[in-house]
Structure 1
Amino acid sequence: MLLTKYSHACVRIEKEDGALVIDPGTLSETGEVLAGADAILITHEHADHFDQEAVLAALAATPSLPVHAPAVVADALRAAAPGTAGQVHTTAAGGTFTTAGFSVRCLGGQHALIHPSIPVVANVGYLVDDAVYHPGDSLIVPPGVQVQTLLVPVHAPWSKVAEVVDFVVSVRAPKAFQIHDALLNESGLAFTESHIARLGAQHGTDFRHLAAGDSVEV
């Protein structure tokens, strides 16, 4: 499979059977990443992971395009464009499905806590082909599976470096790449990633930085 990193939390995964896009948000290059996509996965409702206008445009342009998302996101899409309701599918933790030639496991269930005063929303992480794991806004370790490629949320209002490192160490994927990085400047990102790379390597994980637009075989 070919994985392409886009800005912030968005990635595109491609193989012979199709192209899968995860979390095309308002901080990402949605026009580019959604062009020719065969399926879209949304982890949760926050705008940096879900650009509703861009997803609705993609649904309208391609009547066969499926979108898989938690109930709040799925309901919002159906309400905004009732004619596309058959293209929109609700996901929840524990579920499995196949889309665009990819097998997908749904993990987690809720967004990481930002602050006790802020309600926790649904968040579904996706394990694609039992190989690539996108956790959305959570640090949930997949049970009973050896992840091959881990997408690491390196910085967020709900995390700290120690928690991110512990996540990488617990998953122990051979390969890891950063996501959720748009809120840091270059200095902050380099500082944070140096800790993740150094400590992850002690437990068998090769963590590397991907610039927006970079692709890698996974």
Structure 2
Amino acid sequence: MLLTKFTHSCVRLEQAGRVLVLDPGVYSETDVALDGAGAVLITHEHPDHLDTEAVLSALAASGEMAVHAPGRVADALRVAAPGAAARIHDAAPGDTFTAAGFTIRCFGGQHALIHPSIPVVANLGYLVDDAVYHPGDALTVPDGVQVGTLLVPVHAPWSKVAEVVDFVVSVRAPRAFQIHDGLLNETGLGLTESHIARIGARHGTDFRHLAPGEKVEV
């Protein structure tokens, strides 16, 4: 499976001509990421994970592309694109389904707390083909599975480095790459990732930084 990392939390997975895109947000190169996509997975409603205009344009242009998202997100997209409503699907914790030929399992259900005054929204972690795990904006450890490739939200208004490191240690994936890195400058990113890489390695995880547009086989 070929993984392409885009800016912030967007990744594209390709296998045997099939294309799956996760979290094409406003900080990402959505036009490139969504080109030829058979399906899109949205972890939650925040714009850094969902560029609504780009996704609606892709739905209109494709005629076949499907979108899977938490119910509130799916409802809003169906209202905005009634002609594509049949291709916009609700996803919920515990669900298993197929998207663009990939097997998807859903974990979690709730966005991490930012502040008590900020409402908590639905958030899903997606495990793709029992191999690649994208947690969205939560540090939910998927139960009952061995993750091969972990996508790690390295920095967010809702997290601290200790929590991120504990997440990596708990999942114990053989390899990990960063996501949710669009809010850090080069200095901050280097410092944060050095902690994740050093401590993760003690527990069997090879953490590596991917530049925007970089591709890797997983």
Identify whether the pair has TM-score above 0.5, normalized to the shorter chain.
Answer: yes
Q: Which residue of 2 aligns with 1:49?
A: 49
CA deviations over 1:144-177 (Å, ceiling 9, x no partner): 1000000000000000000000000000000000
> Is the counterpart of residue 214 in structure 1 residue 214 in structure 2?
yes
Which one-letter code corresponds to 2:103 in the other structure? S
CA deviations over 1:114-168 (Å, ceiling 9, x no partner): 0111110000110000000000000000001000000000000000000000000
Q: Which residue of 2 aligns with 1:100?
A: 100
CA deviations over 1:45-65 (Å, ceiling 9, x no partner): 000000000000000001111
CA deviations over 1:12-68 (Å, ceiling 9, x no partner): 000005010000000000011001111100000000000000000000001111000
CA distance in 2, matches of 1:143, 1:150: 14
CA distance in 2, matches of 1:55, 1:72: 16
Runs of 4+ aligned structure 1 residues displaced above 6 Å come to: none
Q: Which residue of 2 aligns with 1:140?
A: 140
CA distance in 2, matches of 1:120, 1:99: 27
For the residue of structure 2 that corresponds to 1:127, the secondary structure is strand
- Percent identical residues: 74
RMSD: 0.5
Q: Which residue of 2 aligns with 1:120?
A: 120
Q: Which residue of 2 aligns with 1:153?
A: 153
Matches within 5 A, 1:27-46: 27-46=27-46
CA distance in 2, matches of 1:81, 1:144: 37
CA distance in 1, matches of 2:175, 2:81: 39
> Is the counterpart of residue 192 in structure 1 residue 175 in structure 2?
no
Structure 2 gap ranges (5+): none
CA distance in 1, matches of 2:214, 2:120: 32
Q: Is the Cα contact below 8 Å between 1:17 and 1:101 reproduced in 2?
A: no
CA deviations over 1:78-117 (Å, ceiling 9, x no partner): 1111111011000001100011110000000000000111
Which one-letter code corresponds to 1:32 in the other structure? V
For the residue of structure 1 that corresponds to 2:164, the secondary structure is helix
Structure 1 gap ranges (5+): none
Q: Is the Cα contact below 8 Å between 1:151 and 1:179 reproduced in 2?
A: yes
For the residue of structure 2 that corresponds to 1:138, the secondary structure is coil
Q: Which residue of 1 aligns with 2:80?
A: 80
For the residue of structure 2 that corresponds to 1:109, the secondary structure is strand
By how many angstroms is 1:72 displaced?
1.2
CA distance in 2, matches of 1:183, 1:99: 30
Q: Is the Cα contact below 8 Å between 1:17 and 1:100 reproduced in 2?
A: no
Which one-letter code corresponds to 2:110 in the other structure? Q
For the residue of structure 2 that corresponds to 1:146, the secondary structure is coil
